[in-house]
């Protein structure tokens, strides 16, 4: 789900870079408000590398196999570091594997990164609900609430990325495709991505429950 | 997982001698100019420019070809698909399939642009050690946090890749050979990804402690603003100016050429 070099008009590339610049600036400002912002740099960097590597895991779905995007859980774990982390991950994918590209780095970061930030805010809802109303929630309910949010973060982030990606690429690919064909192509690819979004959501739930059991501090 | 991005950084060529920060400015300018091209007349020109840069860089052709294999599929799908759906001018018709001129030309435009940008960015990253590229980016004013994160990520990519392969090999040895997707298999994959994340997290804590022990975070202000490595040399400046002029002329040509010239 990366837009390669040369696929979209320059205006889209430039707009992508502008939005990425703005969001990065905002994320960095939020990060610098923390008590010791440098402390989290190694954590964010190694997890960026880990997510990059984890997205290489291929999950067999006969007759083919897919790889996971994981931008929802990146948001949930990395918080505001997720946006720079995704931009860096995309940079390496462009530089090392030629997935995506340098001129489209900005727009690709928007496609993947903004849903990740939204997923972060969605997953954050876990805390206030538990803090404000601790007596209302049994442990069982807390677990279920976390699972629902994890699913929403995982599936929602991927779904939103898929929507932005599909709309950007199909409306910009060629001025000569007629509107009806465009619409059909968008619907068709969204059905495919919908299935993947559900899978990604389930995977995120499993991953979050695993981390919660083994290393809960990672989700703090 | 072997990355090999700067495998040919040790070669000696005019492009290799061009200092990375100047090269970065020049070639990035060129890449954006290429992305700007919409008129087919300009395509031969950018192919010639790209070829000259690639030949000057002395990188082996096999390196470029091996890099082209990965992105192929998506490009191929679009380039094959587009000539049949976009446009009105039918060139060839074969039962319900009809090859259309506009789509064909757009495909050509997209694939040439893609190929040229990819080659130039390969030259940009392939002709200097990666750390030099990062130093160059730092001197150009990218925020410190981002540069540090990029360097650390690069440092651990390969190591974590090895970690993943070791874990996957261990899973295979224990008989995990998933042929299809079900709840159990997906859970095992989630645990694999989770273990990878947790191990990296624990590693990052040790890395951070080692970094503070070596004084990380205390010398940021005392670093000289521009390191001596990037002292301006005339040739560097000249090369960057020439490339930027070429990039600018491409954009001007793109804007000024009349619409009907394709």
Over the stretch B129-148, which tens digit does the pLDDT of each residue have?
A: 888 888 888 888 888 889 98
Structure tokens given for A136: 């209302």
Average pLDDT, integer, range B151-176? 91
Q: Do A176 and B102 touch (CB under 8 A)?
A: yes
pLDDT higher than 60, residue B221: no
Which has more confidence, A61 or B227? A61
Side-chain half-sphere of B4: how many Cα atoms within 13 Å? Answer: 8
Q: What is the CATH number of the domain that holds A38?
A: 1.10.1760.20
* % residues pLDDT > 90 (chain B): 23
pTM of this structure: 0.87
Structure tokens given for B224: 């000289």
Report the distance separating Cα A181 and Cα A183, nearest Å.
Answer: 5
Residue A3: inside a domain: no
Residue A5: inside a domain: no
A47 interfaces chain B, CB cutoff of 8 Å: yes
Encode B101-132 in three state secondary structure.
HHHHHHHHHHHHHHHHHHHHHHHHHHCCCHHH
- When the pLDDT of each residue in chain B is averaged and rounded to a whole number, the result is 83
Q: Do A42 and B152 touch (CB under 8 A)?
A: yes
pLDDT score, position B261: 58
Tens of pLDDT along B65-95?
887 776 666 677 777 777 777 766 777 777 6
pLDDT score, position B217: 72
pLDDT higher than 90, residue B173: yes
The domain ranges of chain B are: 14-128+230-261, 138-228
Report the distance separating Cα A4 and Cα A9, nearest Å.
Answer: 12
* % residues pLDDT > 90 (chain A): 44
Residue A42: inside a domain: yes
pLDDT higher than 70, residue A161: yes
Which residue does chain B place closest to A40, by CA atoms?
B208
pLDDT score, position B52: 93
pLDDT score, position A134: 63
- Domain total of chain A: 1
Among B200, B217, B111, which residue's Cα sits nearest to residue B164?
Answer: B200
Residue A171: inside a domain: yes
Structure tokens given for B219: 């010398």
Average pLDDT, integer, range B214-226? 65
Residue A1: inside a domain: no
Q: Helices in A62-178 by DSSP H: which ranges?
A: 71-78, 82-97, 105-124, 126-132, 139-173
pLDDT higher than 60, residue B229: no
pLDDT score, position B38: 84
Among A59, A116, A29, which residue's Cα sits nearest to residue B190?
Answer: A59
CA distances to A173, B18, B197, B240 from B243, rounded to whole Å, are: 28, 12, 43, 5
B191 interfaces chain A, CB cutoff of 8 Å: yes
Which residue does chain A place closest to B73, by CA atoms?
A99
Q: Do A38 and B216 touch (CB under 8 A)?
A: yes
Give the nearest partner residue to A103 out of B3, B38, B117, using CB atoms.
B117
Report the distance separating Cα A143 and Cα A134, nearest Å.
Answer: 13
CB A40 within 8 A of CB A28: no
Residue A173: inside a domain: yes
Identify from A22, A41, A73, A183 which residue to disrupt to test chain B contact, counting B C-beta atoms within 10 A and taking the largest count: A41
pLDDT higher than 70, residue B3: no
Residues in chain A: 220
Tens of pLDDT along A93-151?
888 887 888 889 999 999 999 999 999 999 988 876 666 666 666 777 888 888 999 99
* % residues pLDDT > 70 (chain B): 87
A23 interfaces chain B, CB cutoff of 8 Å: no
Question: Is the ipTM beyond the 0.90 threshold?
Answer: no
CB B77 within 8 A of CB B140: no
Tens of pLDDT along A73-101?
999 999 999 999 999 999 988 888 878 88
| B contacts of A76 (beta carbons < 8 Å) | none
Strand B97-100 relative to strand B90-94, pairing = antiparallel
Report the distance separating Cα A160 and Cα B239, nearest Å.
Answer: 43
Report the distance separating Cα B135 and Cα B235, nearest Å.
Answer: 20
Among A40, A56, A137, which residue's Cα sits nearest to residue A92?
Answer: A56
Which residue does chain A place closest to B100, by CA atoms?
A176
A18 interfaces chain B, CB cutoff of 8 Å: no
Report the distance separating Cα A22 and Cα A184, nearest Å.
Answer: 33
Residue-range definition of the domain harbouring residue A55: 10-219
Structure tokens given for A140: 């069982």
Alpha carbon of residue A81 to chain centroid: 12
User: Could you tell me which residues come within 8 angstroms of residue A20 by beta carbon, excluding any fewer than 6 positions away?
Assistant: A87, A105, A106, A107, A109, A110, A113
Å from A20 to nearest chain B CA? 13
Average pLDDT, integer, range A27-44? 86
Which residue does chain B place closest to A44, by CA atoms?
B149
Q: Kindly tell me the burial class for residue B19, based on how many C-beta atoms sit within 10 Å of its own C-beta (0-12, 13-18, 19 or more).
A: buried
pLDDT score, position A119: 94
Residue A87: inside a domain: yes
Structure tokens given for A133: 């109303």
Å from B155 to nearest chain A CA? 9
H or E element at residue B24: helix B20-36
| Residue carrying structure tokens 């990740």 | A116
Residue A68: inside a domain: yes
Of the ranges A104-113, B7-16, B73-82, B98-107, the best mean pLDDT one: A104-113
B117 interfaces chain A, CB cutoff of 8 Å: yes
B129 interfaces chain A, CB cutoff of 8 Å: no
pLDDT score, position A106: 93
């Amino acid at each position: 789900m990366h837009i390669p070099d040369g696929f979209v008009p320059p205006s889209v590339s430039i707009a992508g870079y502008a939005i990425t610049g703005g969001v990065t600036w905002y994320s960095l400002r939020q990060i610098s408000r923390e008590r010791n912002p440098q402390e989290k740099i190694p954590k964010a960097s190694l997890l960026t590398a880990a997510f990059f590597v984890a997205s290489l895991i291929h999950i067999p779905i006969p007759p083919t196999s897919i790889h996971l995007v994981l931008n929802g859980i990146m948001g949930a774990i990395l918080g505001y570091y997720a946006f720079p982390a995704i931009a860096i991950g995309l940079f390496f994918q462009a530089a090392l594997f030629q997935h995506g590209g340098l001129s489209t780095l900005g727009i690709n970061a928007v496609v993947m990164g903004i849903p990740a930030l939204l997923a972060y805010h969605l997953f954050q809802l876990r805390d206030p609900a538990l803090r404000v109303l601790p007596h209302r929630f049994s442990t069982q309910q807390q677990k279920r609430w976390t699972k629902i949010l994890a699913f929403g973060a995982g599936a929602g982030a991927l779904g939103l990325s898929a929507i932005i990606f599909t709309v950007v690429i199909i409306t910009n690919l060629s001025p000569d495709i007629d509107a009806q064909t465009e619409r059909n192509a968008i619907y068709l690819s969204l059905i495919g991505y919908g299935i993947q979004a559900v899978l990604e959501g389930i995977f995120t739930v499993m991953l979050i429950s695993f981390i919660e059991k083994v290393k809960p501090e990672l989700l703090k | 997982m072997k990355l090999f991005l700067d495998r040919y950084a040790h070669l000696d060529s005019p492009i290799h001698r061009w200092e990375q920060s100047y090269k970065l400015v020049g070639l990035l300018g060129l890449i954006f100019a290429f992305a700007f091209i919409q008129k087919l007349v300009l395509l031969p020109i950018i192919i010639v420019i790209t070829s000259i840069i690639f030949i000057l860089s002395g990188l082996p052709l096999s390196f470029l070809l091996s890099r082209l294999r990965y992105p192929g599929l998506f490009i191929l799908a679009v380039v094959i698909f587009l000539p049949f759906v976009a446009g009105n001018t039918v060139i060839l018709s074969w039962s319900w399939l009809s090859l259309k001129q506009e789509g064909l030309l757009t495909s050509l435009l997209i694939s040439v642009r893609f190929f040229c940008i990819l080659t130039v960015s390969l030259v940009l990253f392939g002709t200097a050690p990666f750390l030099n590229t990062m130093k160059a980016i730092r001197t150009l004013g990218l925020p410190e946090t981002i540069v540090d994160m990029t360097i650390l990520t690069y440092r651990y990519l390969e190591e974590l890749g090895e970690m993943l392969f070791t874990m996957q090999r261990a899973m295979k040895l224990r008989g995990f050979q998933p042929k299809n997707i079900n709840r159990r298999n997906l859970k095992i994959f989630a645990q694999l990804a989770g273990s990878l994340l947790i191990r990296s997290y624990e590693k990052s804590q040790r890395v951070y402690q080692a970094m503070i022990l070596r004084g990380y975070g205390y010398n940021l202000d005392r670093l000289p603003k521009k390191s001596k490595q990037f002292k301006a040399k005339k040739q560097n400046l000249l090369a960057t100016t020439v490339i930027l002029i070429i990039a600018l002329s491409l954009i001007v040509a793109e804007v000024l050429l009349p619409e009907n010239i394709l």
